[in-house]
Amino acid sequence: MDWSPIWISMKTAGLSILITFFLGLFAAWRVVCIRNERWKALWDGILTLPLVLPPTVAGFFLLYIFGVKRPLGRFFVEYFGVKIAFSWGAAVIAAVVMSFPLMYRSARGALEQVDPDLADAARTLGMSEWRIFCRVLLPNGRSGIASGGILAFARGLGEFGATAMIAGNIAGKTRTLPMAVYSEVAAGNMDRAFQYVEIMAIIALGSILLMNYGTFRADKGRRQR
Amino acid sequence: MMGEDGILLEAEIRKKLRDFQLEVSFAAGRGCLGLLGPSGCGKSMTLKSIAGILAPDEGRIALNGGRQVLFDSRQRISLSPQKRRAGYLFQNYALFPNMTVRENIMSGLGAASGHRRASQRKERAEEMMERFRLKGLGDRYPGQLSGGQQQRVALARILAYEPQTLLLDEPFSAMDAYLREELRLELAGVLKDYAGASVLVTHDRDEAYQLCSHLVLMKEGRVLAKGKTRELFQNPGTWEAARLTGCKNISPVRRLGPFRVKALAWGGLELETDQPVGEEVCAVGIRAHDFCPLSEGEAEAWEGRPGANRIPVGKPSISEMPFEWHITLENGIWWKKEKDIHTHDAAGVIPPWLRVDPSAILLLKGEAEPTRQAFL
């Protein structure tokens, strides 16, 4: 059995959740800070878009942006000598873009649920907005933020459509577990597909249990004090 | 409206709200200024505007006789809440649940309050905990404290950085009744020692009377009346102000003569006043405690005398409170009569007649004629 899809999947999901987590959290904070309701709705719409688009359509857009003949893609090739499309980096980009809305929306909900009086009190106490974010909003919204992270990780791990569009299905390079399952089934190797499915299910369940345990501990700790 | 030390805070605020236009202006010297009004009249909005949490559409807010401008729409000045150094006590205290009592108190300390070093901040926090009887609670979290302790932490957190204004938003509304009295006294002590301007928002007239030397009465975003607390309670001026200061009996009147009115809400009862009734008087008010009972004999003796103001009791409805009878006369007038806790029988208490002294009748003006509806 080829073990590379497992390694590639873990690598991709791991790096992409790292990026998505902080990017989504930061975006959520900035959107929460917008006072104008119209701007808020507009930004929210843009940042949520990948969630409502079919993954292949999102992948198509990514290909359109990062394709070698497109301005951005060409820029990367000419200045850094990096081809983005159909590389492992493309798989990470696809996972980040597709999992971002889940992180962003959960984090935004978590931040908005923190009693607005707390932030106002912090302001009258002279705390800077950044300090309020770190010392008041984050600690009091952490369980919601953590569950956003779980969702985003699961979404990144299972990413298929956009990855297929921009990263392709290159064995040993961009073939993640979901891709491998698809390829084996397409080739009629049901037994091998089944092995990948088993591994996928174990990894998914294991990581979710791990993170759930983490948030459960965090919640319990808070209630006890 | 100022004490000996002159004006410490002046505010002129206009802001369009969903249901009405907020339009208030007042000035405060030493001694607490109360904003008294029903819920949703814009008093919290006013307080938040002073703290900088909300921005008024127009107006001016300044401290220390106008020398320090916090907000001025014409000069396009609007300091951030961080720079206003206001001590804002929130209704639910807004303690940070993720920080200990000590950390909460230290959260407002920094270079701006002259506590640059961590050791200075810690020392100041200990000092405040001592002052607010929180010793030994420094490592607890707000969730582990009683309501009274939480309020003391919130006060300690504010006073630790010596704020320029003290803004108190309904400080007792989230509190059990038995704690309220004690904490009011405690807060009265804090307010007495405090040298800056302080503003208290409340809908409770007892709280306003006890804690505030001056009052602004508000309704639907407007100022109904302002002045010294005791004078406002003695002579509210308008029927809306009379109601806010807790006057239970208000009736629209028809003027019968220079000292005589007919109370339309109380079955056409005719009353004599000791103040001349001007054309602009549209209502009278009588406080529920200001009646004296008359026996048949006494009532006969009063008959025909000037200023008798006899009121037939008729068939009253009676409700028992621990230390008072609440009696509603047949004509709708409210009368409160003191009793002791052992008395439960109202039979001997209800006289056939009441009378009200002409001096106890409040002559009231008002923008709109009070309708019967307005008092229900």
Verify whether the Cβ–Cβ distance B107 to A135 is below 8 Å.
Answer: yes
Nearest CA in chain A to B165: A124
Q: Determine contact: A222 vs chain B, CB below 8 A.
A: yes
- Which secondary structure element, helix H or strand E, spans residue B127, and what is its range? helix B118-131
Return the percentage of chain B with pLDDT > 90, whole number.
Answer: 37
CB B356 within 8 Å of CB B307:
no
pLDDT given for residue A220 in this prediction: 60
Q: What is the pLDDT of residues A169-208, one digit of tens each?
A: 998 899 999 999 999 999 999 999 999 999 989 988 887 7
Q: Do A117 and B52 touch (CB under 8 A)?
A: no
* pLDDT at B125 (0 to 100): 92
Q: State how far the Cα of A121 lies from the Cα of B39, in Å rounded to an integer.
A: 21
The candidate with the shortest Cα–Cα distance to A98, out of A64, A54, A42, is A54
For residues B76 and B55, give the distance between their C-alpha atoms in angstroms, rounded to a whole number: 12
Strand partners, B201: B35, B169
Interface of A with B in 135-164 (CB under 8 A): 135-136, 139-140
Strand order in the sheet with B317-320: B317-320, B324-328, B334-338
Q: By mean pLDDT, which of B30-34, B180-184, B249-253 is the weakest?
A: B180-184
What residues contact B340, with CB distance under 8 A and at least 6 apart?
B323
* pLDDT value of residue A134: 93
Residues with Cβ < 8 Å from A79, sequence gap 6 or more?
A: none
Q: A125, B157: Cβ pair inside 8 Å? A: yes
> pLDDT tens, A37-91?
899 999 999 999 999 999 999 999 998 888 878 888 888 888 888 888 889 999 9
The CA–CA distances, whole Å, from A103 to A16, A29, A47, A153, B288 equal: 12, 12, 10, 9, 61
Would you give the end-to-end CA distance of chain B in angstroms?
Answer: 33
Q: Do residues B18 and B61 lie in contact, with contact meaning Cβ atoms separated by under 8 Å?
A: no
A136/B143 CB distance under 8 A: no
Q: Which residues of B touch A124 (CB under 8 A)?
A: 51-53, 81-82, 84, 86-88
Q: Chain A partners of B52 at a C-beta cutoff of 8 Å?
A: 123-124
How far is A210 from chain B, CA to nearest CA, in Å?
Answer: 24
Per-residue DSSP letter, B36: E
On whether any CB of chain A is under 8 Å from the CB of B52, the answer is yes
Chain centre to alpha carbon of residue B66 = 26
Q: How far apart are CA B365 and CA B285, in angstroms?
A: 10
Q: At what angle do helices A37-52 and A88-113 cross, to 10 degrees?
A: 140
- Phi-psi bin for B234: left (phi > 0), alpha (psi -120 to 50), beta? alpha
Do B110 and A121 lie within an 8 Å CB cutoff? no
Two tokens at B73? 């729409």
What pLDDT is attached to residue B235? 87
Q: Can you read off the two tokens belonging to residue B333?
A: 């007038």
pLDDT at B272 over 50: yes
- The count of domains in chain A is 1
Which pLDDT belongs to residue B18? 86
CA dihedral B205→B208→B214→B218, nearest 10 degrees, is -50
Model pLDDT for residues B191-201, shown as the tens digit of each residue: 988 988 999 99
pLDDT at B370 over 70: no
- Give just the sign of the alpha carbon dihedral B199, B204, B208, B214: positive
| pLDDT confidence bin for B214, thresholds 50/70/90 | very high
Residues in B 234-263 with any Cβ partner in A closer than 8 A: none
What CATH number corresponds to the domain at position A118? 1.10.3720.10
B100-to-A63, A115, B74 alpha-carbon distances in Å: 51, 18, 43
Q: Do B80 and A123 make contact, defined as CB atoms within 8 angstroms?
A: yes
pLDDT of residue A221: 53
User: Which run of H or of E encompasses A162?
Assistant: helix A161-166
Please tell me the predicted confidence (pLDDT) of residue A196: 93
Q: Containing domain of residue A214, as a range? A: 4-224
Query: Distance (Å, rounded) from C-alpha B341 to C-alpha A204?
Result: 69
Question: How far is the C-alpha of B42 from the C-alpha of A106, rounded, in Å?
Answer: 34
Contacts of B82 in chain A (CB under 8 A): 123-124, 126-128
CA diameter of chain A: 66
Q: Tell me what pLDDT residue B371 has.
A: 59
- CA distance linking residue B138 with residue B144, whole number of Å: 11
Q: Check if B141 contacts A (Cβ < 8 Å).
A: yes
Q: Which residue has the tokens 């698809």?
A: A182
Query: What average pLDDT does the structure give for chain B?
Result: 87
Cβ neighbours of B298 (radius 10 Å): 16
- Structure confidence by residue, pLDDT tens digits, B135-190: 899 999 999 998 889 999 999 999 999 899 999 999 888 777 787 888 888 889 89
User: What pLDDT is recorded for position A46?
Assistant: 94
